[in-house]
Every structure is written in structure tokens, then in C-alpha cells.
Amino acid sequence: MAQHDFNIANQGFPAFRTDLNNVLTAINTSQSGTSRPSSAVAGTIWLDTTSATTPTLKYYDGADDISLATLDHSSNTVNWLDNSVSFDIVNDTTPQLGGNLDLNSNDITGTGNVNISGTVTSTGATITGTLLPYKAYIAEATLTDGASIDWNMSTQAVAKVTLGGNRTLNAPTNGSTGQFASILVIQDGTGSRTLTWNAVYEFTADTAPTLTTTANYGDLFTFRYNGAKWLEVGRNLNLVLS
């Protein structure tokens, strides 16, 4: 790695050859050095080797150096420093994320099928296209038992809870209009536990169901949210769970 002033003096052959070789070495090593080369003019790109393992590629604009990227020798990666850099992944048939995808209040849209598998949660973004329900999977969540029980519809739309006493089920949080949700209410080893439902749950004839009393049995309820009430659309009582 070397730098050169790109000025070859009028000199004899051996010295000229040495000077020329030094110029070629500087070019071949991208004008590498710990400070800007003395020959830099507007448009010069050079490699700052202050850090030997992560040198910085820089562009000289005639007044200042603009840092373009760091080159990680350990992981063999280029880390672009301008956070506005974007890229097109249309030619990448299997793109992968190293973390969460932040939609930044934008939507996921498509003219074809939108195949989603895994736990699907939403905090405001909209997915449009043809959703294939058989691909969607919402993991079952276990609600925390207590005198009053909370239910978060953004992360616990499919839920179960084992009653350790007579309980109250609070109004759900983070529900979305049109959302379906289900809850499996399980009696503990004692049984005969009761559940008081918040008024936001709506049952046939406005009458809450009577739970199974048998120890370790369960009752399954399904609801649809209309924006104001969680309307029961199905129930299956007195279920043997094991």
C-alpha cells in the first residue's frame, strides 16, 4: 500500500523506473494511506488505512473528504456510510432479513398472492393482495392467570388460560375491526372455576355461557370484533384436552 504525488521528475533511467513503479503501486493500492494523498484533486478516490482492518474508502471533492464506505476485512463486507443508500432486490429471488422489517407506516402490496407463514401481528400497516389463509399461522399464547386477566389481541389472538380461581376476563386491547380471536378457558385441577366476562364480549341473548365444571376440562370460544364489541361466533364446551 502506498501513495504518490503523481509527479515523475526528469531523471535518469533507474530512478525513473523506480518512480514509475511507485506511481503504479499507488494506483494499484487505491492511494492507500493514513492521510489524504498530496496529489489529490477534486474527484480523487483514496483508501484511508487509519484502521488496518476496517479501512475507509473516501472521495475528495476538492475541499473535503467524503467517506463512502468501510471495508471489513474480517467479514469481507462493504458497509456503506450514507444511510440514504437504497437498492433494488428484484433480481434476488431469495432475499433475507437480518432483523425486523420496518414498513415506516407504509403498506405491503402485491398483484399476486401474498403468502405469509408464522405469527402475523400488526400495529397499523396494511397488507393487500390475495392472502392465502392456509399459509397463515398464529401461535397460541398463554394468558397470565390472576384475579383479572388481560388479553392483547395484537400478540395473543389465539390464546388459552387456566383458571386457578374465580376470575374476570378484562376487555381486550389492540383489537382490529374484523379480527377473529379465540380463547380456550381451562379448569385447573380443582375445577368449578367461574369466569366473569367484560361487557365488551357479546353472547347470544346477551347471556354469558356457563363454563364446564370438570377439573382439567376446557371450553373454547371464538369471537369477531366489529370495532365496538367482540361478538361470539362459536363455542365448544366440555372438551377433554388430554
Give pLDDT, residue 113: 65
What are the grid coordinates assigned to 162, written together?
387456566
Give the distance from CA 232 to its chain's centroid: 33
CB 94 within 8 A of CB 113: no
What are the grid coordinates assigned to 40, written together?
489529490
Buried b vs exposed e over 188-205: b needs ≥16 C-beta within 10 Å? Answer: eeeeebebebeeebbeee
CB 121 within 8 A of CB 175: no
Tell me, yes or no, whether 234 and 146 share the same domain.
Answer: yes
Give pLDDT, residue 203: 97
The yes-or-no verdict on residue 52 having pLDDT over 70 is yes
Express each pLDDT in 174-206 by its tens digit.
Answer: 999 999 999 999 999 999 999 999 999 999 999
Q: Is residue 4 part of a domain?
A: no
> 75 is in which domain, residue-wise?
13-80
Kindly report each contact of residues 39-46 with a partner whose C-beta sits within 8 Å and lies 24 or more positions away, as own/partner: 39/3, 39/4, 39/5, 39/6, 39/7, 46/3
Tell me, yes or no, whether 76 and 132 share the same domain.
Answer: no
Tell me, yes or no, whether 76 and 130 share the same domain.
Answer: no
**Average pLDDT estimate for 139-157:** 96
Report which of residues 29 and 142 the model is more confident about.
142
Give pLDDT, residue 142: 98
Express each pLDDT in 109-128 by its tens digit.
Answer: 766 666 666 555 656 656 66
| Of residues 143, 139, 134, 178, the one with CA closest to residue 164 | 143
Give pLDDT, residue 168: 98
Give pLDDT, residue 191: 97
Q: Is residue 7 part of a domain?
A: no
Total domains in the fold of the chain: 3
Tell me, yes or no, whether 157 and 226 share the same domain.
Answer: yes
Question: Binning pLDDT at 50, 70 and 90, where does residue 96 land?
Answer: confident
Tell me, yes or no, whether 234 and 152 share the same domain.
Answer: yes
- In whole angstroms, what is the distance from residue 192 CA to residue 46 CA? 78
- In whole angstroms, what is the distance from residue 234 CA to residue 242 CA? 22
Tell me, yes or no, whether 117 and 147 share the same domain.
Answer: no
Q: What is the DSSP letter of 150?
A: -
Question: Binning pLDDT at 50, 70 and 90, where does residue 86 land?
Answer: low
SS3 115: coil
Q: Is residue 5 part of a domain?
A: no
Express each pLDDT in 75-85 by its tens digit.
Answer: 999 988 876 66
